[in-house]
Amino acid sequence: MAEPASPPALQDVRIVGDGFVLRPWRGDDLDSLLLHANDARVPRGLSSRFPHPYTRADGEAFLRGEVVNLADPVLAIEIDGQACGGIGAHPGRGERSHGAELGYWLGQRHWGRGLMSRIVAAYVPWVMQSLNLTRLQASVLDSNPASARVLLKNDFQPEGILRAAVRKADGLHDLRIFSRLLRNEPA
């Protein structure tokens, strides 16, 4: 099996899709990040690393790379010239270096238009090739069926459920695990 690739030179990445652009986060994204991230509906299906309320200090820490490693392929979702979401993959290490964990979010005003399915469709082949991945996985809370539909539309397969795996403000939630495999590798 080939060695995993280093993360791409993110400053040069620009993926143009139908109604969106994926590109690196910039310091001047702070105001639009705050506008879209400070919505109580957004973090309901996300990790607790994504707080609510989402403050200026939270946005500044994110843009400095203190929340997620911005050297990983973590990109802003730009719609109509404004960063209004994000998508990224956290590469595995050691014996898991052939895989990565996918995560994404989108500001509520852009929900229900099929954008996230198109964004994942553009990002996943690029990141799998860029990092020489065989496996990409994603975790979805049971309370977020829209995110599960995005993954299923993009050839992710359900792998199982971790019961009562996550505690949110409203109680315990199951975590659904999905994966997409590069088919030319032996199992």
Q: Coil, strand or helix: which one is 96? A: helix
Mind listing the pLDDT tens digit for each residue in 136-151? 999 999 999 999 999 9
Torsion sign, CA atoms 136, 65, 23, 40: positive
Q: Is 0.75 surpassed by the pTM of this model?
A: yes
The predicted pLDDT at position 2 comes to 47
Answer whether residue 169 shows pLDDT above 90: no
CB atoms closer than 10 angstroms to residue 57: 9
What does pLDDT average to over the chain?
Answer: 92
